[in-house]
Amino acid sequence: MATWKDLQLNLQSGKTIDQAERTLLEAEKRCWRDVLTRLISIIQSLAGRNLAFRGSSKTLHQQNNGNFLKEVELLAKFDPVMKHHTECVESGQFSHSSYLGNIIQNELIASISGKIMDTVVTEIKQSKFYSVNLDCTPDASCQEQMSVIIRTVKMDKAPEIKEHFMGVLVASETTGLGLLSLILKELMELNIPFDDCRGQSYDNGANMKGRNKGVQPRLS
């Protein structure tokens, strides 16, 4: 017990023999946090303007390497953290990921998207009642997709109507029953009770507004 207590005191006062390694480790952790903070800001900037991330090249300082890497190059001209990071990438100092590749971009986008979705769902639940706006259209590969928008009234100092784009759902079945199951499953996964839905809006497709078998009469 005395030995453990001495170790605890030495760790707190920074007098252990591995203190130098611990200091280097903490410095590296701070460095990677700083890099990730800047990369997340770049992702937010590109996504907020609906710009494409990647090009035909995946290398820094190459033509057509996409908006993401171009933003990294621009930031490296003025920011010492990103400048040091890009220099390490180009000199091959990293034996692991440099956090500039396609996979980490997708992971960061998914993480940010998940956090935004959690915030949106919380706001919808605070408003309690909502309406849904559904619209189906095929993409270039003729795969039917359904966009989902939820409209709420935010009761703050003054009532504010807000619309939240919840995403695009791929519809394997384009029948009224198939689309009905799809939207109910999505609401269940988001933990948004359909009992609080007070309005519905659709396009003019028969599978949506059909009098007998469309989504609208089935949900009503």
Contact in structure between 163 and 130 (CB atoms under 8 Å): no
- Which residue, 205, 209, 213, 215, is CA-closest to 137? 205
Q: How confident is the model at residue 101 (pLDDT cuts 50, 70, 90)?
A: confident
Classify 82 as helix, strand or coil.
Answer: helix
Rounded alpha-carbon distances, angstroms, from residue 12 to 1, 9, 21, 30, 139: 17, 5, 15, 20, 60
Percentage of residues in the chain having pLDDT higher than 90: 20
User: For helices 66-76 and 19-48, what crossing angle results, to 10°?
Assistant: 130
The tens digit of pLDDT for each residue in 128-146 reads: 899 888 887 777 777 878 8
Sign of the alpha-carbon torsion through 73, 75, 78, 80: negative
For the ranges 54-58, 78-82, 139-143, 163-167, the lowest mean pLDDT is seen at: 139-143
**Integer angstrom CA distances of residue 111 from 148, 185, 191, 219:** 20, 22, 19, 32
Q: Answer yes or no: is pLDDT of 44 > 70.
A: yes
3-state secondary structure of 154: strand
Which stretches of the chain are DSSP H helices? 2-13, 19-48, 66-76, 80-91, 102-127, 176-189, 206-209, 215-219
pTM of the model: 0.69
Residues 6+ apart with CB under 8 A from 131: 150, 151, 197, 198, 199, 200, 201
Residues 48-76: what's their mean pLDDT? Answer: 90
Q: What are the tokens at 108? A: 């960061």
- The DSSP result for 184-208, as a single string, is HHHHHHTT--GGGEEEEE--S-HHH
Mean pLDDT of 28-51: 91
72: its two tokens? 């990294």
Question: What is the bridge-based pairing of β-strands 130-138 and 197-201?
Answer: parallel
Q: Cβ atoms within 10 A of the Cβ of 21, count?
A: 10
